[in-house]
Chain A
């Protein structure tokens, strides 16, 4: 031992072991000020250290590459969010809580017309009003922006025409709100009203004046913003099915309904830099868009993310009002604050797309799913937003968790004169998932099998590839299904309950981080970067751009750092508010934060860990391989009394260079196919979930109440079980709103009729069922400590689970969401009429007698269970691609094995006639192929 010392804790309370050897007890923590709230080192918490590295934490899914960095400090323990005390004391500062000295109030003038050209705007009366300090119109900021680089179709304010009621026309800043409101009355605008389009089906036809013009890429003269065609697999398999389901769905648009209305404060500081305070999920997009619109380099803008009062996707676009505040502030020379009324929140929208979805599916004689045929026409509203991605997600995220014989998808997103749809929790996957899962329920009825057994016998295993080429790593789908089946007592209830009571199953599949960072090439730049700094005081400052929107991303990052460095979480300070100090990050969307940022944070923490261990090596002479980090101390593995405190090691490590600095990045591995659109839906990991819902349906009024939900979600590894459960229950709440009560109601004149929380019905506490969250841990090989997403995926299964439960209760399939009492009642009436006008109370409740296939499926499910377990634990590492269930060889390309196997991203001319609703978008050609604009 060179230079080290033996630290004995004074009057040691050490114990004598059975073999007579004396071991040190609680270690004193020598120098004060090392951080943490207790002077003594806590004993090593073996319950939270995995089996694979000598702890007691069970690992049914096998070991993980990060196991050796586990210190039992934070990971897996339920804990309060690190910013929760700010929230419960009212000190959390949201957009509208930013008050700068000398601030003035901005207001936005919004379009009263659905679709109109602006012939002229006269602002002279506005400018003359005492108290008005700045006025701006579209001409002040002609540069266009958009969340995706390929669809920059928005402006700060309307340039030439307005595209929906509520579209921004002009803005004004005045000394107080009353004056600004008064000023809005004084604009003189000359309009030329155009013929609006509200029905997405009409949007597929040629228009006199399409809502946007995309030049040579414009599809005919239609309002089609994006069209997608995808076909994989062997279409001959769908011929002569032994069961099939064909459903046409109508889903209404829903809004995120976050409680915090948008608000923004812009301030040009004395050095001419823009400081913009905004509750953004993705501050980086806003940063880019501001730079484009204002013609200011990005480094002259500091985007400060305030606390975000709920996002759910609704605060992930760069917003025109953010530009407006900046423009007004630049003109007035004073800070400008714009806060939205609840009504304005609905005008900016970005909620879930109103959709027409058609799903055809077939199963063969062995109850294998031989084909999915999906057609999704989605109503994009006035702007593109994330529409490109949504158009793909509506199809491609249905390619798992089941093994498919063939997959066919046509999707189209059209512009209409309504507030723009965009990304919302479960982006693009929710509506199709509902249609698909209900279809499976219908097929299981035809096959006379249990729907859970049908699913269990058709699942893709862990470490496999979907039909569209997505790489599945960990997969907890089977365990999720088994646990909800057991938890809900499914086998005693399904198809056995009296009329009016029902139980239903639904599954979900979602990405854990988009594999493609929209603005750059993932092969050149990392997805996420985290910086870390430790100064002499020992506190760890972590800089990340991950936007905490309430899901607890800051806590997740703090937890993994705390785990790796064995420091109490109070010593980790996450700084994520300012773009000046945060590394570039794509923020909170597509459920990427935990996976990508926590991974980057682990890498940065490992760099620090290595420096600390090397310093300890120098001090006590033991190689880092035999050193243990535990609660602010580093010691020799076999004698905890030999060691140094964290602070001593830190100061040693700082001798040369001062503060310890580290940077960690996350890159996704190369993956995915090469066909057009292959990157959409690609993710480094996928989450899986299965829910069982129990409902009561009043057959005489059509009122549905969901009473119980068993919600199993595979999040890989729950870094913070409290937060994961919160996400699961919260997702149930949001999904339940969509399936039972929430819709954006557009009247006959196309006007949004319920832009407020009174008539837009978010479930209250009384509508909430009793949710039993079940966390499934499949330990993802690439996730941070095995973790995957838990924020969006858990929303998906609740919709089909409820719809299927309603069928179980009353024997009526309804394919119109939300299932409001009027919709249900109409469906019940139609059914009673078809049964010779019986009373609703005499409706026959559906019953199930298992057919011969049931036993086959159970047997196959059991075989697959063994297969899956081996693959999960890497005892079987053979290749597995979608198609093995149909007897194909995974090692050879499918095209070589079956003649009819194809991968197509454009329809063949002979297919055009038989395409569905959205497929009609392919009947028109792009301008460049029509000899139009080149």
Chain B
């Protein structure tokens, strides 16, 4: 950017319709034919959870799943994944129910400033899909393409281990995040223990 003439980005690059399946929904976007997947996802599709950290494939913040495989969206032309299944961090939760990996990142301190978190979540999700019982070493290898400056990785590995346990069914599933009354029937569904005056 300094020292020499700037690379011309050809403002007149023709645009074309790009289509893919993003988070389970068919998406069509008008994007320049040389557009980077990261730009299309952020600017055209509106998936702002995909973060831009370095534009060089070094930080892993922009990791998304393409057909279930983790991929750096900043090093990928949108055209290369035309028609593919793309999952971003926005596609991890089911409605109000966070995926185990998301809850565990919150409860085990895997996320501090949170900027690298989407990338780590995607890398971890891909790992857990293929390996339900990863060792700490295997987890390290799965996330070594992601940089985190806050946590020192240790609590991220803890989070992924905890999520693996939940996914395997060895630990109870977490409560949904945005339900104000996570368990309205603490004594079982047969004995509603609603407070007096509560609408039945």
- Stretch of B52-60, B65-73, B75-83, B164-172 contacting A (4+ beta carbons < 8 Å): B52-60
Chain B nearest CB: distance from A548 CB in Å?
9
CB–CB B54/A181 < 8 A: no
Q: A96: which B residues are within 8 A, CB to CB?
A: 52
Chain B nearest CB: distance from A364 CB in Å?
40
CB–CB B54/A342 < 8 A: yes
Q: Which of A28, A185, A342, A722 contacts B109 (CB 8 A)?
A: A722
A178 interfacial by beta-carbon distance below 8 Å: yes
Q: A92: which B residues are within 8 A, CB to CB?
A: 114
CB–CB A310/B149 < 8 A: yes
CB–CB A259/B155 < 8 A: no
Q: Known: A85-B98, A89-B102, A723-B109. Contact between A765 and B6, CB under 8 A? A: no
Find the B residue at minimum CB distance from A737.
B149
Cα distance A111–B180 in the bound complex, in angstroms = 54
CB–CB A31/B197 < 8 A: yes
Chain A nearest CB: distance from B90 CB in Å?
5
CB–CB A184/B6 < 8 A: yes
CB–CB B111/A81 < 8 A: yes
A93 interfacial by beta-carbon distance below 8 Å: yes
CB–CB A259/B61 < 8 A: yes
Q: Known: A89-B93, A341-B1, A757-B56. Contact between A310 and B147, CB under 8 A? A: no
CB–CB A32/B198 < 8 A: yes
CB–CB B154/A771 < 8 A: yes
CB–CB B115/A729 < 8 A: no
CB–CB A30/B196 < 8 A: yes
Q: A28: which B residues are within 8 A, CB to CB?
A: 195-196
CB–CB B58/A757 < 8 A: yes
CB–CB A261/B195 < 8 A: no
Q: Which of B1, B11, B49, B155 contacts A726 (CB 8 A)?
A: B155
B130 interfacial by beta-carbon distance below 8 Å: no
B47 interfacial by beta-carbon distance below 8 Å: yes
Chain B nearest CB: distance from A779 CB in Å?
23
Find the A residue at minimum CB distance from B10.
A178
CB–CB A29/B195 < 8 A: yes
CB–CB A310/B115 < 8 A: yes
Most buried by B among A88, A176, A550, A733: A88
Most buried by A among B49, B92, B93, B157: B49
Chain B nearest CB: distance from A731 CB in Å?
8
Chain B nearest CB: distance from A10 CB in Å?
8
Find the B residue at minimum CB distance from A345.
B54
Cα distance A312–B143 in the bound complex, in angstroms = 23
CB–CB B113/A308 < 8 A: yes
A97 interfacial by beta-carbon distance below 8 Å: yes
Which size class do B's interface residues fall under?
35 or more
Chain B nearest CB: distance from A898 CB in Å?
46
Most buried by A among B6, B8, B121: B6
A490 interfacial by beta-carbon distance below 8 Å: no
Cα distance A96–B178 in the bound complex, in angstroms = 26
Cα distance A97–B92 in the bound complex, in angstroms = 19
CB–CB A81/B106 < 8 A: yes
Cα distance A179–B108 in the bound complex, in angstroms = 44
Chain B 179-200, CB-CB to A under 8 Å as 1, else 0, gives 0111000100000011111100
CB–CB B114/A177 < 8 A: no
Q: How many A-B residue pairs have CB under 8 A?
A: 228
Cα distance A316–B148 in the bound complex, in angstroms = 20
Cα distance A10–B151 in the bound complex, in angstroms = 48
Chain B 125-162, CB-CB to A under 8 Å as 1, else 0, gives 00000000000000010011011111111111100000
CB–CB A259/B1 < 8 A: no
Q: B18: which A residues are within 8 A, CB to CB?
A: none
CB–CB B3/A765 < 8 A: no
Residues A336-394 near B (CB distance < 8 A)? 339, 341-344, 347
B177 interfacial by beta-carbon distance below 8 Å: yes
Cα distance A551–B149 in the bound complex, in angstroms = 12
Cα distance A734–B52 in the bound complex, in angstroms = 21
Cα distance A768–B139 in the bound complex, in angstroms = 13
Find the A residue at minimum CB distance from B105.
A88
Q: B118: which A residues are within 8 A, CB to CB?
A: 90
CB–CB B115/A178 < 8 A: no
Q: B194: which A residues are within 8 A, CB to CB?
A: 32, 39
A638 interfacial by beta-carbon distance below 8 Å: no
Residues B8-55 near A (CB distance < 8 A)? 8-11, 13, 47-55
Chain B nearest CB: distance from A278 CB in Å?
15
B86 interfacial by beta-carbon distance below 8 Å: no
CB–CB A90/B47 < 8 A: yes
Find the B residue at minimum CB distance from A768.
B153
Q: Known: A80-B106, A88-B102, A90-B118. Contact between A730 and B150, CB under 8 A? A: yes
Find the B residue at minimum CB distance from A757.
B58
A527 interfacial by beta-carbon distance below 8 Å: no
Q: B148: which A residues are within 8 A, CB to CB?
A: 259
CB–CB B53/A342 < 8 A: yes
Chain B nearest CB: distance from A232 CB in Å?
37
Q: Known: A111-B2, A729-B154, A771-B154. Contact between A88 and B112, CB under 8 A? A: no
Q: B1: which A residues are within 8 A, CB to CB?
A: 110, 341, 343-344
A676 interfacial by beta-carbon distance below 8 Å: no
CB–CB A93/B106 < 8 A: no
Q: B112: which A residues are within 8 A, CB to CB?
A: 81, 310, 550-552, 726, 730
Q: Known: A88-B106, A182-B8, A259-B147. Contact between A765 and B47, CB under 8 A? A: no
Cα distance A751–B1 in the bound complex, in angstroms = 13
Q: Known: A178-B9, A342-B54. Contact between A87 and B144, CB under 8 A? A: no
Most buried by A among B90, B117, B146: B117
Q: Known: A85-B106, A91-B49, A729-B154. Contact between A764 and B9, CB under 8 A? A: no
CB–CB B114/A733 < 8 A: no
Cα distance A552–B151 in the bound complex, in angstroms = 12
Chain A 296-337, CB-CB to B under 8 Å as 1, else 0, gives 000000000001111110000000000000000000000000
Cα distance A97–B49 in the bound complex, in angstroms = 8
Chain A nearest CB: distance from B27 CB in Å?
16
Q: B111: which A residues are within 8 A, CB to CB?
A: 81, 84, 87-88
Chain A nearest CB: distance from B38 CB in Å?
11
Cα distance A81–B116 in the bound complex, in angstroms = 16
Residues A87-130 near B (CB distance < 8 A)? 87-94, 96-97, 99, 110-112
A37 interfacial by beta-carbon distance below 8 Å: yes
Find the B residue at minimum CB distance from A131.
B11
Q: Which of B4, B93, B149 contacts A762 (CB 8 A)?
A: B149
CB–CB B5/A259 < 8 A: no
CB–CB B177/A181 < 8 A: no
Chain A nearest CB: distance from B65 CB in Å?
13
A256 interfacial by beta-carbon distance below 8 Å: yes
Chain A nearest CB: distance from B76 CB in Å?
17
Q: B105: which A residues are within 8 A, CB to CB?
A: 84, 87-88
Cα distance A723–B108 in the bound complex, in angstroms = 9
Cα distance A758–B58 in the bound complex, in angstroms = 6
Q: Which of A112, A309, A770 contacts B2 (CB 8 A)?
A: A112
Q: A396: which B residues are within 8 A, CB to CB?
A: none
CB–CB B113/A181 < 8 A: no
CB–CB B49/A90 < 8 A: yes
Q: Given contact pairs A259-B148, A734-B152, A765-B143, enumerate 15 new A-B contacts (beta carbons under 8 Å).
A: A31-B195, A39-B198, A85-B106, A87-B111, A88-B106, A88-B111, A89-B93, A91-B49, A94-B51, A182-B9, A307-B113, A341-B55, A344-B1, A722-B155, A756-B56
Instruction: List, sorted by A's number, 30 A–B pairs whose CB atoms are closer than 8 Å.
Output: A10-B196, A30-B195, A31-B195, A32-B194, A37-B181, A39-B198, A40-B193, A80-B106, A81-B111, A85-B178, A87-B117, A88-B106, A89-B89, A89-B90, A90-B47, A94-B115, A97-B48, A176-B11, A181-B6, A181-B9, A182-B9, A259-B53, A259-B147, A310-B115, A342-B56, A344-B1, A757-B54, A757-B59, A765-B157, A771-B152
Closest 5 pairs (CB-CB, A-B): A90-B49, A550-B113, A87-B114, A309-B115, A733-B152
Interface residues of B (CB under 8 A from A): 1-11, 13, 47-56, 58-59, 61, 88-90, 92-93, 98, 102-103, 105-109, 111-118, 121, 140, 143-144, 146-157, 177-178, 180-182, 186, 193-198
